[in-house]
Amino acid sequence: MSETASGSAEIDEQTRRDFLIWSTVAVGAVGTALAVWPFIDQMNPAADTLALASTEVDISQIEVGQSITVIWRGKPVFIRHRTPEEIKEAEAVDLADLPDPQTDDARVQKPEWLIMVGVCTHLGCIPLGQKSGDPKGDFGGWFCPCHGSHYDTSGRIRKGPAPNNLPVPGYEFTSDSTVLIG
């Protein structure tokens, strides 16, 4: 049986067989990949997990200089009513001093409200600094105890292993006293 196929005279026959083999392999590979995908994709966030994606918060009770932590998509979100000094400090920083340069202006919609995801951009611990007794790090903002990252009053990384600033989620002030996160 293989004699015809490998016979050197029948070049025509050989290329046709090669074509059949490779097209079978290609179709099989694509088919397998398509069949495997659902088994990987089932690990991605499910529809109900995605549906919990926004949170409304009442901010009318937060005094100047106070912070609260709310949960959005299972993550803590820091909402801080900043003092004028903190705002001034955050705005005065020279961008050249920042590992992840960003102006304070780009991180807030209203300067007195700093809203950001309270998850350290290094390996996901929750930085301290929300309560009045907490350590706030060398830059008066937040301090991550896990591997020592220091964030400033705008939540920007200043020192330590974390590569990025604390991320700002999408949010919207739905009234003077409420904000919708997500």
Partner 1 sequence: MSGGTSNFQSNSRVVNWIEHRLPVFSFLDSQLHQYPTPKNLNYFWNFGSLAGIVLVIMIVSGITLAMSYTPHTDLAFDSVERIMRDVNSGWLIRYIHMNGASIFFIVVYIHIFRGLYYGSYKAPREILWMIGIFILLAMMATAFMGYVLPWGQMSFWGATVITNLFSAIPLVGDWIVQLLWGGFVVGNPTLNRFFSLHYLLPFVIVGLVFLHLWALHMHHSNNPTGVEIKDEKKDTIPFHPYYTIKDMYGLGLMLIFFAFFIFFAPNYFGHPDNYIMADPLVTPPHIVPEWYFLPFYAILRAFTSDYWVYQIVSLGGWLMSAKLAGVIAMFASILVLLLLPWLDRSRVRSAKYRPLYRFFFWVFAIDCVILGWVGGLPPEGVLVTIGQWSTFWYFFHIIIIVPVVGILERPKPLPDSIAASVTSAPQAAE
Catalytic residues: 147
Report in angstroms how near the CB of residue 71 gets to partner 1 at its nearest: 8
Residue 120, interface with ligand FES (CB under 6 A)?
A: yes
SS3 string of 108-123?
CCCCCEEEEECCCCCC
Choose which of 108, 162, 168, 181 interacts with ligand FES (CB under 6 A).
162
Comparing CB distances to ligand FES, the nearer of 118 and 179 is 118
Task: Give the C-alpha separation, 131 to 151, whole Å.
Answer: 15
Nearer Cβ to ligand FES, position 59 or 125?
125
In the structure encoding, which two tokens stand for residue 147, read together? 């591997």
Contact 77, 71 (CB under 8 A): yes
Tell me: does residue 160 bind ligand FES (CB under 6 A): yes
Kindly determine how many residues on this chain lie close enough to bind ligand FES according to the rule CB under 6 A: 13
Q: Does 161 bind ligand FES (CB under 6 A)?
A: yes
For the chain, the straight-line distance linking the first and the last C-alpha, in angstroms and rounded, comes to 66
What, of ligand FES, partner 1, none, does residue 149 touch, CB below 5 to 8 Å by kind?
Answer: ligand FES
Distance, in Å, from the CA atom of 118 to the CA atom of 99, rounded to the nearest integer, reads 18
* Helix, strand, coil share (%) of the chain residues, nearest 5: 30, 25, 45
Identify the CA nearest to 179 among candidates 72, 51, 49: 72
Among 149, 153, 154, 165, binds ligand FES (CB under 6 A): 149
Q: Which residues pair with 70 in a beta bridge?
A: 77
144 sits near ligand FES (criterion: CB under 6 A): yes
d(CA 152, CA 86): 9
Burial class of residue 15 in the structure, from the number of CB atoms within 10 Å of its CB (0-12 exposed, 13-18 middle, 19+ buried)? exposed
Shortest distance in whole angstroms from residue 164 CB to ligand FES: 11
Nearest residue (CB) to partner 1, 127 versus 139: 127
Contact positions toward partner 1, by CB under 8 A? 40, 43-46, 49, 69, 71, 73-76, 122-126, 144-148, 161, 163
87 lies in the site for ligand FES, by CB under 6 A: no
Could you list the residues that contact ligand FES (CB under 6 A)? 120, 122-125, 144, 146-149, 160-162
